[in-house]
């Protein structure tokens, strides 16, 4: 399969609400509208991206996070790509077809192993999903192979609403928000939603307000795979978790997505006050091969948001040793905030951070503190701050190694080694094509022998990830700084607003 790797209006649709989670005093995000409407779709909204108080680079609350080691979401942390093991689950079921008139009659009758194909056409009553597959026998809900299966926006319900579902695959749909209040995909209700694949969806028209979200979780959610989706025009692209640290998102994979032209975050994963013990401590959430880009539509002032913000893991108990593993992503442009902000347990490597309009990366306290942070082999070009790491837990290390940062302020880091730096003017000589940071035309492979230095020992890098290959998957000799090990191989992906293929 080949896919392209691509404020204040508070939505409060209170149609038949069953339960509401209270807002935190510092966050104006929506409560969970978890009831079904007359059409069966479920209340619209269910958690947005706080228009105030929910932080860009200014969050400074106390607390701590957990040490990072071990665990995974079920797949390799880097290297040859493969689906997650649990996805091998399409067998021994019925092939079912439905269209815009009869699909609601079919949805609730789906059983483990069934594959429902929705014919091309417009679906205006949402996709409420209350059924579950089982290990080895997922339920698949997919659009027509020829395309054209379009779910229309609503002010009354979220377009794809998951209630207590598990082992469900959703793919090949067009979600058209139509400037209305409903989110694109949302887990809602009181029960966990787990082992969910959201793949190859086209989302647009979710940008009437910053708090309208393309893909949202408002339940405990684990083993989600969000892959190969294209979100263009949303208040917030992906918003995973809840504003008060409840309803955690963990042990997930977000990969090959293109998220562009958002008002607020391209993606945020909220901090976690605690999480269930249904996944062993030390789980990883993988964020890889994505493009997160913003532009002049970005909110400013108190509503400004980074492209990507990652909150801390639980500060004690199960989940305290979870971590985010972030690699081979391209974060581009943000005229009002940094590209990337994070805290907690982080492994960040082989990424491209390019901001012609401001700063790039800040690892800093938000709702807790940075704890175990390994930031290595990244390439940064920014017209503001390149990399800042501050306020970390002194019982752990926060280190930058082997990065290449170019701009007026390349680094503000206490523990750093074997990095290279320069001005944006210097970048034109260091990289294959970086005299302008505009797209297309940018190529951040090193020019000649640029970015070379003494070899960095692999033993100095974090365990549990394979740092032996670069952004392109080319084997490293550990002498090059930045995301690339050398010149571009044939067919290499170049920075673009369309994500890589898989």
d(CA 233, CA 262): 5
What is the CATH number for 226?
A: 2.160.20
Segment 148-168, tens digit of pLDDT: 999 999 999 999 999 999 999
pLDDT at 132 over 50: yes
pLDDT value for 391: 97
d(CA 156, CA 38): 9
pLDDT value for 46: 64
Residue with the bigger pLDDT between 353 and 28: it is 353
Sequence-distant (6+) residues with CB within 8 A of 363 are 341, 342, 343, 346, 370, 373, 375, 387, 388, 389, 390, 392, 398
pLDDT at 8 over 80: no
Question: CA-CA distances (angstroms) from residue 427 to 383, 406, 454, 496?
Answer: 12, 6, 20, 19
Segment 62-97, tens digit of pLDDT: 333 333 333 344 443 445 789 999 999 998 899 999
Whether 284 contacts 323, CB under 8 Å: yes
* Neighbour-count burial of 92, counting CB atoms closer than 10 A to its CB (0-12 exposed, 13-18 middle, 19+ buried): exposed
* Residue 55 falls inside a structural domain: no
Q: How confident is the model at residue 29 (pLDDT cuts 50, 70, 90)?
A: very low
User: How many helical (H) and strand (E) elements, i.e. helices and strands, does the chain have?
Assistant: 2, 39
Tokens 């928000």, residue located: 177
Tell me phi and psi for residue 105, to 5 degrees: -70, -25
pLDDT value for 24: 33
Torsion, Cα 8 14 20 26, to 10 degrees, reads 10
Residue with the bigger pLDDT between 166 and 24: it is 166
User: From the CB of residue 179, how many other CB atoms can be counted at a distance below 10 Å?
Assistant: 14
pLDDT value for 367: 95
Whether 343 contacts 367, CB under 8 Å: yes
State the chain's mean pLDDT as an integer: 88
Segment 379-397, tens digit of pLDDT: 999 999 999 999 999 999 9
* Residue 409 falls inside a structural domain: yes
pLDDT value for 79: 52
Q: How confident is the model at residue 14 (pLDDT cuts 50, 70, 90)?
A: very low
Sequence-distant (6+) residues with CB within 8 A of 498 are 4, 5, 6, 258, 291
d(CA 97, CA 261): 35
Of all residues in the chain, what percent carry a pLDDT higher than 90? 82
* Residue 484 falls inside a structural domain: no
d(CA 231, CA 239): 13
pLDDT value for 109: 97
The residue range of the domain holding 324 is 85-460
* Residue 182 falls inside a structural domain: yes
* Residue 7 falls inside a structural domain: no
Average of per-residue pLDDT across 343-356: 98
Q: How confident is the model at residue 37 (pLDDT cuts 50, 70, 90)?
A: very low
Segment 441-461, tens digit of pLDDT: 999 999 999 999 999 999 889
d(CA 487, CA 33): 51
- The two beta strands, 340-342 and 308-310, are parallel
Encode burial over 333-361: b for 16+ CB neighbours within 10 A, e otherwise. bbebbbbbbbbbbbbbbbbbbbbbbbbbb
Residues in the chain: 502
pLDDT value for 93: 93
Residue with the bigger pLDDT between 180 and 41: it is 180
Whether 12 contacts 32, CB under 8 Å: no
The number of domains in the chain is 1
Whole-model pTM?
Answer: 0.88
* Residue 394 falls inside a structural domain: yes
* Residue 46 falls inside a structural domain: no
Of all residues in the chain, what percent carry a pLDDT higher than 70? 85
d(CA 342, CA 285): 14
Whether 37 contacts 43, CB under 8 Å: yes
Q: How confident is the model at residue 41 (pLDDT cuts 50, 70, 90)?
A: very low
* Residue 402 falls inside a structural domain: yes
Segment 387-426, tens digit of pLDDT: 999 999 999 999 999 999 999 999 999 999 999 999 999 9
Whether 430 contacts 406, CB under 8 Å: yes
């Amino acid at each position: 399969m080949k896919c392209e790797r691509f404020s204040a209006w508070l939505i409060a649709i209170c149609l038949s609400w069953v339960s509401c989670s209270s807002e935190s005093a510092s966050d104006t995000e929506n409560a969970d509208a978890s009831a079904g409407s007359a059409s069966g779709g479920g209340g619209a909204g269910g958690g947005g991206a706080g228009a105030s108080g929910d932080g860009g680079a200014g969050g400074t609350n106390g607390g701590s996070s957990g040490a990072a080691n071990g665990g995974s979401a079920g797949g390799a942390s880097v290297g040859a790509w493969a689906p997650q093991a649990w996805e091998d689950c399409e067998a021994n079921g019925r092939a079912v077809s439905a269209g815009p008139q009869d699909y609601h009659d079919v949805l609730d009758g789906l059983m483990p192993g069934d594959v429902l194909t929705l014919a091309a056409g417009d679906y205006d009553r949402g996709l409420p999903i209350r059924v579950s597959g089982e290990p080895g026998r997922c339920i698949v809900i997919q659009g027509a192979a020829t395309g054209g299966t379009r779910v229309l926006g609503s002010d009354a319900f979220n377009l794809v609403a998951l209630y207590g579902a598990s082992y469900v695959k959703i793919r090949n749909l067009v979600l058209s928000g139509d400037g209305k209040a409903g989110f694109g995909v949302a887990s809602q209700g009181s029960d966990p939603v787990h082992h969910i694949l959201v793949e190859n969806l086209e989302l647009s028209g979710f940008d009437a307000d910053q708090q309208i979200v393309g893909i949202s979780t408002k339940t405990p959610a684990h083993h989600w795979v969000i892959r190969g989706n294209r979100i263009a025009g949303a208040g917030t692209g992906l918003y995973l978790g809840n504003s008060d640290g409840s309803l955690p998102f963990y042990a997930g994979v977000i990969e090959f997505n293109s998220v562009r032209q958002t008002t607020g975050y391209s993606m945020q994963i909220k901090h976690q006050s605690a999480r269930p013990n249904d996944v062993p401590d030390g789980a990883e959430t993988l964020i890889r091969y994505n493009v997160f880009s913003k532009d002049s539509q970005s909110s400013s002032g108190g509503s400004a948001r980074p492209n990507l913000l990652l909150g801390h893991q639980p500060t004690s108990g199960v989940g305290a040793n979870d971590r985010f593993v972030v690699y081979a992503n391209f974060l581009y442009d943000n005229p009002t905030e940094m590209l990337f902000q994070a805290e907690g347990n982080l492994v960040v490597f082989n990424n491209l951070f390019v901001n012609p309009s401001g700063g790039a990366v800040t690892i800093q306290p938000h709702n807790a503190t940075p704890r175990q942070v390994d930031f290595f082999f990244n390439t940064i070009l920014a017209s503001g701050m390149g990399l800042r790491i501050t306020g970390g837990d002194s019982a752990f290390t926060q280190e930058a190694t082997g990065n290449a940062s170019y701009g007026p302020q390349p680094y503000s880091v206490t523990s750093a080694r074997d990095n290279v730096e320069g001005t944006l003017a210097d970048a034109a000589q260091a990289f294959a094509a970086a005299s302008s940071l505009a797209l297309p035309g940018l190529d951040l492979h090193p020019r000649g022998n640029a970015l070379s230095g003494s070899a960095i020992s692999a033993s100095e890098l974090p365990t549990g990830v394979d740092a032996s290959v670069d952004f392109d998957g080319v084997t490293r000799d550990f002498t090059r700084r930045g995301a690339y090990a050398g010149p571009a191989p044939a067919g290499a992906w170049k920075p673009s607003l369309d994500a890589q293929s898989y």
